[in-house]
């Protein structure tokens, strides 16, 4: 697993390719690319730009979640437009796309679980999860622990307990994925609210 240090607050663009296989995670920034070291497990390599990725699957399904209108964080006005772009590109790649905007903590957890339960138990499927919204990194036992932030999560600087009740940790997302023996590759851009890294890594653009 690649472990990255990031600023505490950032806008995340998180894309997860869920394909039946062995669990692995690789967090990528614009400065870092997936390592080939053996102890980091299998890493998905993109095909040349313009080709379909992992085209040997019988079904391709994507869940796009955008969090824009936050109650306690800055609003992210570009997210809805961004999701439309992602949806267009994925549909061109043959994905069936489901999209959700401005989910609270309960809705966000439920939506992720529903998506996996609906599509995640057939070996011939490929699943992709994309999250656009705020992210947060905190120190926990000497390590950076990352979270995606639903629209109703409080500011952790003033209400850490409330934040932890509502935010979803990356560990939780990996646990959901590993429950159906999936391969997870996570891409996040911690410096800006849009980055071409998603398209570069997955060969979608």
Check pLDDT > 50 for residue 93.
yes
Task: Tell me what pLDDT residue 58 has.
Answer: 80
In a domain, 4, yes or no: no
In whole angstroms, what is the distance from residue 117 CA to residue 204 CA?
A: 26
In a domain, 69, yes or no: yes
In a domain, 1, yes or no: no
Higher-confidence residue of 39 and 135: namely 135
Task: Tell me what pLDDT residue 72 has.
Answer: 96
Supply the range of the domain harboring residue 42. Answer: 9-21+28-202
Residues 6 or more apart in contact with residue 65 via CB below 8 angstroms:
99, 100, 101, 103, 108, 111, 112, 129, 130, 131, 132, 133
Q: How far is C-alpha 24 from the chain's CA centre?
A: 14
In a domain, 3, yes or no: no
Structurally, how many domains does the chain consist of? 1
Q: What is the CATH number of the domain that holds 146?
A: 3.40.50.1460
């Amino acid at each position: 697993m690649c472990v990255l240090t990031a600023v505490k607050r950032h806008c995340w663009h998180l894309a997860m390719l869920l394909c039946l296989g062995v669990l692995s995670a690789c967090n990528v920034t614009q400065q870092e690319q997936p390592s080939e070291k053996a102890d980091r497990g299998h890493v998905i390599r993109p095909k040349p730009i313009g080709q379909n990725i992992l085209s040997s699957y019988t079904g391709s399904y994507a869940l796009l979640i955008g969090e824009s209108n936050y109650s306690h964080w800055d609003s992210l006005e570009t997210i809805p437009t961004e999701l439309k772009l992602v949806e267009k590109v994925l549909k061109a790649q043959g994905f069936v796309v489901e999209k959700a905007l401005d989910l609270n903590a309960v809705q966000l957890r439920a939506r992720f679980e529903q998506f996996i339960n609906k599509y995640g138990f057939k070996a011939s499927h490929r699943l992709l999860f994309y999250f656009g919204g705020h992210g947060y990194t905190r120190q926990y036992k000497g390590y950076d622990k990352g979270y995606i932030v639903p629209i109703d999560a409080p500011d952790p600087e003033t209400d850490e307990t409330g934040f932890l009740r509502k935010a979803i940790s990356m560990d939780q997302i990996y646990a959901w994925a590993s429950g159906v023996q999936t391969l997870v590759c996570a891409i996040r851009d911690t410096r800006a609210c849009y980055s071409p890294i998603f398209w570069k890594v997955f060969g979608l653009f």
